[in-house]
Structures are given as structure tokens and as C-alpha cells.
Amino acid sequence: MINAEPPGGLTPVQRDILVAIRSHMRDRGRPPSMREVLVKVDLDSTGALSYQYGKLEASGYLRREAGRPRTVEVRLPGEPVFPSEAGKPGQLPGDAGPGADQAPEDRAPEKVAWVPVAGRIAAGSPVLAQESIEDYLPLPREVVGRQEGLFILEVVGDSMIGAGIVSGDWVVVRPLFQAPQDGDIVAATIQGIEVEGTVKTYKKVGRQVWLMPQNPAHTPIPGGRAKFAGKVIAVLRRI
């Protein structure tokens, strides 16, 4: 029955989430990021919002299309349930296949990597690097390569300004499957020192590992107990 409601009702915050997504898509023509939704609802973290997204998906009020992370559809109580095939209300301009005036190679999906924005990390004082994915950004393969597992972190702090990384930048991080090399800029955590994550330059002197800032106002950090999340391969900045 096409108008049947899925089991279970909506909480006030869940309804606010649906309304926020619907309003953003109507006003801006694209789905909102989690941060954009967060400012409209009574939740205090992207982790809490991600949990509510999962509940809404399970109950049939929200749908995200597999393989298209910036595509989302929502429905409110009383509206028809989603059809078996993905519709277009939440589709971003340019997400569809190439049109008559577009060369197929210009729209080839293999030329773009959808990279998750995974939170914040410190270049200076520690800042919580949240586990939940806040958004996805499309990045050209010519810049980030073809390795899987990339993620993006927002930088907070000024300890890496000498390397051209300033507070508010996004760094694209590639997972490491072996020890870093001298001069690599890495995202790392250090138990008891930088437990919430930091971006620094890797340097090894003899057997001692150091995480070096690129700002004389900050001091090097012993890195013998560091766990390396990955190597920074690109920096993104809003102008």
C-alpha cells in the first residue's frame, strides 16, 4: 500500500532533521552536510546526528543512495513511501549521467574520489577527532590518486603554518601501511600527550621519533608512542 507508514513514530528532533534537510534542498538545490543540519536541530554532535540518520533510514523516512554520498531523500509523515527505485528529489546537479552537451569522459566517475570528512584534528592544542563522517567531498583523482581509504580532517591551530597549513584548512590523509619517512606530514595520536590527534612533520633521529611543528612558537613532541593515522597528501582551503 503506497501510503502506508513505516512502523514507529518520529521524535521531535527526528522531525526537525527531516524538515532541515528538506528546507536546505529546496533553498540551495543540494543536500546539506551534517554540520549544516546540526545548526538547525537540538543535537550537540555529528555523532548524535549520525545516529539519528541511521534511525530515520531504518524507519523509512530518509534514504541515501549507495555510491552517491551526497545524494539523500527524505519524506515526512503522510507522504508516500519511497519507491523501489531511487528518485531524484535529493540528487545534486551534476550527479546524473552525462547529458547531450557533456562528454562522457568529463563525467566519468573514476575521475572523482568521494572522500569522507571525518572531523577535526589539532595543529597545536588537541581537538577531538570525531569518528563519525560529517560529509563527503569530491576530489579529482589527479590530485589524490587512486588509493582507497582516504579521509579529510579539519585543522585547528597554528603549529603548521610554516608548512602552509593554517587553522581552518582541510587536510586529505592517506592511510599508512608502513612507518612514515622523514619529512612526511602525518596525522597522529599519542597516548598521554596528544590523545585527540595532531598534524606534525615526522622526523627520526637515531632511534628517537619526533613530531615537529612548523612554527617556532611550538615545541617538538616525542613521538615514540605515536599511532599514525596516515600521511597528509593534500591541503584544501576556502578563500
Catalytic residue IDs = 159, 200
Report long-range pairs for 200-205 (Cβ below 8 Å, ≥24 apart): 200/123, 200/159, 200/160, 201/160, 201/163, 202/228
* Residue written as grid cell 584544501: 236
Which residues are CB-contacts of 56 (< 8 A; sequence separation ≥ 6)? 14, 17, 18, 62, 74
Angle formed at CA 118 by CA 108 and CA 35, multiple of 5 degrees: 95
37-43 — which CB contacts under 8 Å span 24+ positions? 40/16, 41/13, 41/16, 41/17, 42/12, 42/13, 42/16, 43/13
